[in-house]
Structure 1
Amino acid sequence: MGGACSRKRDQLVDEDIVLGRNSGRYCKSGNSKWLGISTGRPAVDIQQVGGSRPSLMELCISKICEDIDKYSTFSMLPRDISQQIVNELVYSKCLRENSLQAFRDCALQDLYLGEYPGVDDSWMEVISSQGSSLISVDLSGSKVTDGGLICLRDCTKLQSLNLSFCDHISDCGLHHISGFSNLTSLSFRRNSATTAQGMSALSNLVNLVMLDLERCTGIHGGLVHLRGLTKLEYLNIKWCNCITDKDMEPLSCLTNLKALQISCSKVTDFGISYLKGLRELALLNVEGCPITAACLNSISELGKLSYLNLNRCNLTDDGCEKFSLLGSLKVLNLGFNDVTASCLVHLKGLTNLESLNLDSCRIGDEALVNVIGLCRLKCLELSDTEVGSDGLCHLTGLNNLESINLSFTAVSDIGLRKLSQLISLRSLNLDVRQITDTGLAALTSLTGLTHMDLFGAHITDAGTNFLKNFKKLQSLEICGGGITDSGVKNIKDLSSLMLLNLSQNHRLTDKSLEFISGLTALVSLNISNSRITSAGLQHLRPLKNLKSLSLESCKVTANDMKKLRSTHLPNLVSFRPH
């Protein structure tokens, strides 16, 4: 298939977004992954762009990067200039081990080498030569080992260290960084070699504010070493299936904790009771934990809680009356629970609620009467429910609503007329088989839309005429098989598009690529299962921002794609076929 099921791609609430940060290595969407991460600073372009020219400094840095092999050292340059040069080399993926030597003793402050190819222990000597100037280092996804971390011992003022996905680091490596008392942020995701014993090294990091141990599956019993980290505000132990109620007891001492992620662990209602004293806690993610509605007694004492994820916790209506005690909640995720319309009655008092996820809950049109008073609601997730067109009348007064997911519901064209008044909408998921051109015509007043998912809707070339009203669209998916090259012609002027998914439209030809060639902001493009051929790839050459390209089940070979990347699309990092 050219694209994945959009319902699970378009989760409306993510705790990383709530905390105002990117989610890291993995994003939820195959097609949207490049919208979920920073694309970084664009490489210096010496051509005139938008009426402005690059500065003399930018031109000089660009030239230095082109001739990087001619330089043996930059240590005589001011630190800020050396920093800009190394940043540019990393961004353009031109930094190599031999060119790195030129930055020895440059007193650099930041080295962001996450996922950078070739980084291993041989790079560490130059990295450590920055000494006490070094503040932030990202080595995530590298081949650095415990031995390589020893080199950092002179970087005494290090504040941020990312060692996520470093498979060659063990407990011994943690002990090498135990003396970094200035460290405020440490990320150590997906490391099965870390044990409770190794966690003892963290007890010295008394200034830690952020600690990420996601998918560290051997740390059961090790959280006791966090008791003294009283400045800790963010703790992520998601997908640590070794974590039990006993591990929650030490966390009761972390009274400054503002965000706690314990999803997919073995914590029960009893473990949640240890959290009652965390008065500063604003975010609690217990998705997939074996808890019941009884834990709401403990959670109701968390007076500052604004984000609560109870997704896949097997909740039932019993006990859900405790929701009325959570008056400060802004985000509530109840997806994939056995709750019904009777449970939603207890949401009426949550007047501060800004996001509500009811994905796959057993609710229909009558349940939505309970959201009428939630006037601050911005995001509403109703995918895979029994909600139909009649229920949408209850949403007409939600004037702050910015995002709604109606995928796999019973909503039809006639119901979309009721959404036409919600001019604040920015994101709309209509992956619904019964939606047609008529429904799309009813939405033309929503000119502020930036994201529209019509993945499985029956949209034809005639319907694409209505897309001309959505000039601000950044993301568009139409995969129902009903459009031809003529339909794509109506998309060619949507110049803000960053993601375009037209997979499954088997009648599209190389002519469509010609139309798309003007969409130079595109970061992700999917036209799989079409009649695209290698000859049409020439039209993609102007798309210099493209990072993801999928042309599966087309008459295009992996070699064709590689040649396109090497000659015209240097930023392309994901392509299919490959």
Structure 2
Amino acid sequence: MGGACSRKRDQWVDDDSIPRGASGRYCKTGSSKWLGKSLSRASSDAKQGTGKCPSLMELCICRICEDIYKYKTFSMLPRDITQQIFDELVYSQCLTKVILEAFQDCDLQDLNLGEYPGLSDSWMDVISSQGSSLLSVDLSGSDITDFGVILLKDCKNLQALNFNYCNQFTDHGLEQISGLSNLISLSFRRNNTITAQGMSALSGLNNLVKLDLERCPKIHGGLVHLKGLTKLQSLNLNCCSCITDADMKPLAGLINLKDLQISSSKVTDCGVSYLKALHKLTLLNMEGCPVTASCLESLSALGSLLYLNLSRCYLTDDGCNKFSTLQTLKVLNLGFNEISDGILVHLKGLTSLETLNLDSCEIGDKGLVYLAGLKRLKCLELSDTEVGSSGLHHLSGLHNLESLNLSFTVISDSGLRKLSGLSSLRSLNLDAGKVTDAGLAALTSLTGLTHLDLFGARITDSGTNYLRYFKNLRSLEICGGGLTDTGVKNIKDLTSLTLLNLSQNSHLTDKSLITISGLTSLVSLNVSNSRITSAGLQHLKPLKKLKSLTLESCLVTADDIKKLQSTDLPNLVNYRPE
């Protein structure tokens, strides 16, 4: 997806710099993005005027929440109703320490308080009062300490505990939960205090199925305490730079392990050899590990492997013939490796492959012939390669292809004609400088497209006439600088658009916002580096669903946008300038 400003071909995104949620700490890391939840809330929908009629129960809960300070206790209500009241208060961030007291001894089952402001040890008395009814607790990003965790010891039926980003939770806290033998899921993501010695408290959690220790820098040597957890199916050790080959040896006995993530660790080919007995392993993420193609010999023993991420490893063409043995693979990520066309011949037998990522590899037209037989491919990433127009005809038979990324390649208009038969294509990224209006014309048969990225393409007002063929578009980016207000008029009928990026088109004026005002489904709008002024903001008032607005390098100030937000765009949460 194109950004507001120019991008470097080799730009590396630091996911921790991207703000998420209330505090920006509780997030999905970049090493998991390659695996590519929304909650519908009837009462909230009703408030926002979506047209959905709420049920009587939803109306009652909404009213109770509005008058919440009138109630001293909910312990006499049925548990399912109390649970819904609690969830609504959390969702709307109306729950306070005082209000929480009304939920004492209510037998609640799920307390999802991750990233909730003000959560501390003083809340734990009410939380623990749910007793044997309590099944799951999310305390991520809170100021809970070991002292507060002690109170959970009597919640014997707890199945899921989440302590992500709780740096006041230490080895002593682990000791306090060591008796919760019914735990199935446990997470300590980004904890700087848990040590290998403290992990001995986990050895008795024999029912544990999922364990998340992502970005825990002091656990080297502690995985030996997991040897007896034979029910473990998912283990996340992503971005634990302390993890070495020696830590892989204790995992050899975890015969039920299905998902293992060790990205950005120090595991080498030797460490991978300890995993050969994990015959149920379906997902293995080794992004950024110092492994070479030699590890493929060990991986060939994993007959159930479906998802393999070797992005940013030390792979070269040498030894890559072993890829042909991984015939069950559905997802293969080889991005950012020193591999070339020669490797592709070894992929042609992977006929079950559905996703292939070759981002930033030394791949050109010559090797694409070996992809022609991968008929089940749904997603293909060829970004930042030397792929050009002459090789694209090898992709013309991939009729199941739904997503194709050709950004930063050397393709031109003539090559795009060879993609015209890919009727299943839904997402197409053509952030490439040689694509012009003629290239867009060649794609008009792809009427099922929902995402079209033309960020760096040279599209003019004339070329936008071809957009009328793409009525299903939900995301559109045209940022090559060739558009004026006249061209934007051809976008007015794309009423399904939720994201529109027209940045870098310096000739656009407030007149374009008049056209855009009819796209009432828009959630994200970017018209940076244009001639938009504060006076033009009035045209955005109909865009009630807008959550993100970017107008950098325009004649608009943050105060102008804030005023619009307060009066007409209540859902706007992200805007620039800010």
Superposition TM-score, scaled by structure 1 size: 0.91
Matches within 5 A, 1:199-238: 199-238=199-238
Cα deviation digits, residues 356-395 of structure 1 (max 9, x gap): 1111111211100011111111111111111101110000
Map of 2:269 onto structure 1:
269
Map of 1:346 onto structure 2:
346
1:25 matches 2:27: yes
Mark the runs of 5 or more structure 2 residues left unpaired by the alignment: 14-24
Cα deviation digits, residues 35-82 of structure 1 (max 9, x gap): x85365365344796764222222222222223233332222222222
Distance 1:63 1:455, change over 3 A: same
Aligned length: 562
Map of 1:374 onto structure 2:
374
Q: Secondary structure at the match of 2:200?
A: helix
Distance 1:548 1:129, change over 3 A: farther
Distance 1:216 1:372, change over 3 A: same
**Which AA in structure 1 matches 2:27?**
R
Map of 1:474 onto structure 2:
474
**Which AA in structure 1 matches 2:458?**
H
Map of 1:245 onto structure 2:
245
Q: Do the aligned residues in 2 keep the contact of 1:435 with 1:457 (CA within 8 Å)?
A: yes
Map of 1:486 onto structure 2:
486
Q: Mean alpha-carbon deviation: is it higher for 493-502 or for 429-438?
A: 493-502
Q: Distance in 2 between matches of 1:430 and 1:10?
A: 20
Q: Mean alpha-carbon deviation: is it higher for 515-524 or for 175-184?
A: 515-524
Q: Secondary structure at the match of 1:278?
A: coil
Map of 2:105 onto structure 1:
105
Distance 1:107 1:316, change over 3 A: same
Q: Do the aligned residues in 2 keep the contact of 1:6 with 1:431 (CA within 8 Å)?
A: no
Q: Distance in 1 between matches of 2:250 and 2:6?
A: 41
Q: Mean alpha-carbon deviation: is it higher for 272-281 or for 46-55?
A: 46-55
Quote how far apart the aligned CAs of 1:522 are: 3.3
Distance 1:237 1:379, change over 3 A: same
Q: Do the aligned residues in 2 keep the contact of 1:526 with 1:550 (CA within 8 Å)?
A: yes
Q: Do the aligned residues in 1 keep the contact of 2:26 with 2:140 (CA within 8 Å)?
A: no
Q: Do the aligned residues in 2 keep the contact of 1:47 with 1:53 (CA within 8 Å)?
A: no
Quote how far apart the aligned CAs of 1:138 are: 1.8
Map of 1:2 onto structure 2:
4
Q: Distance in 1 between matches of 2:264 and 2:85?
A: 42
Q: Distance in 1 between matches of 2:11 and 2:399?
A: 25
Q: Secondary structure at the match of 1:346?
A: coil
Q: Mean alpha-carbon deviation: is it higher for 193-202 or for 117-126?
A: 117-126
Cα deviation digits, residues 459-497 of structure 1 (max 9, x gap): 223322322322222222222222233333333433333
Matches within 5 A, 1:151-170: 151-170=151-170
Distance 1:91 1:48, change over 3 A: closer
Cα deviation digits, residues 74-100 of structure 1 (max 9, x gap): 222222222222222222233233323
Q: Distance in 2 between matches of 1:154 and 1:568?
A: 49
Cα deviation digits, residues 523-572 of structure 1 (max 9, x gap): 33333323333444444444444433333233333344444444544444
Q: Do the aligned residues in 1 keep the contact of 2:161 with 2:186 (CA within 8 Å)?
A: yes
Quote how far apart the aligned CAs of 1:507 are: 3.0
Q: Do the aligned residues in 1 keep the contact of 2:404 with 2:427 (CA within 8 Å)?
A: yes
Distance 1:235 1:146, change over 3 A: same
**RCO higher in 1 or 2 (8 Å CA, sep ≥ 6)?**
1
Q: Distance in 2 between matches of 1:568 and 1:68?
A: 28
Distance 1:375 1:58, change over 3 A: same
**Which AA in structure 2 matches 1:287?**
E
**Which AA in structure 2 matches 1:222?**
G
Q: Distance in 2 between matches of 1:531 and 1:39?
A: 38
Q: Do the aligned residues in 2 keep the contact of 1:132 with 1:156 (CA within 8 Å)?
A: yes
Map of 1:524 onto structure 2:
524
Q: Do the aligned residues in 1 keep the contact of 2:407 with 2:431 (CA within 8 Å)?
A: yes
1:389 matches 2:372: no
Cα deviation digits, residues 405-457 of structure 1 (max 9, x gap): 10000111111111110001111111111112221121121122122211111
Distance 1:254 1:81, change over 3 A: same
Q: Distance in 2 between matches of 1:206 and 1:570?
A: 48
Matches within 5 A, 1:187-198: 187-198=187-198
Q: Secondary structure at the match of 1:461?
A: coil
Map of 1:177 onto structure 2:
177
Map of 1:410 onto structure 2:
410
Q: Secondary structure at the match of 1:467?
A: helix
Q: Distance in 2 between matches of 1:121 and 1:138?
A: 14
Matches within 5 A, 1:24-43: 25-26=27-28, 38=38, 41=41, 43=43
Map of 2:18 onto structure 1:
none
Q: Secondary structure at the match of 2:472?
A: coil
Q: Distance in 2 between matches of 1:136 and 1:9?
A: 40
Distance 1:174 1:557, change over 3 A: farther
Q: Distance in 2 between matches of 1:490 and 1:408?
A: 26
Percent identity between the two aligned chains: 70
Cα deviation digits, residues 175-198 of structure 1 (max 9, x gap): 222222111111211112111112
Q: CA RMSD in A?
A: 2.6
Distance 1:283 1:100, change over 3 A: same
Q: Do the aligned residues in 2 keep the contact of 1:40 with 1:91 (CA within 8 Å)?
A: no
Distance 1:149 1:157, change over 3 A: same
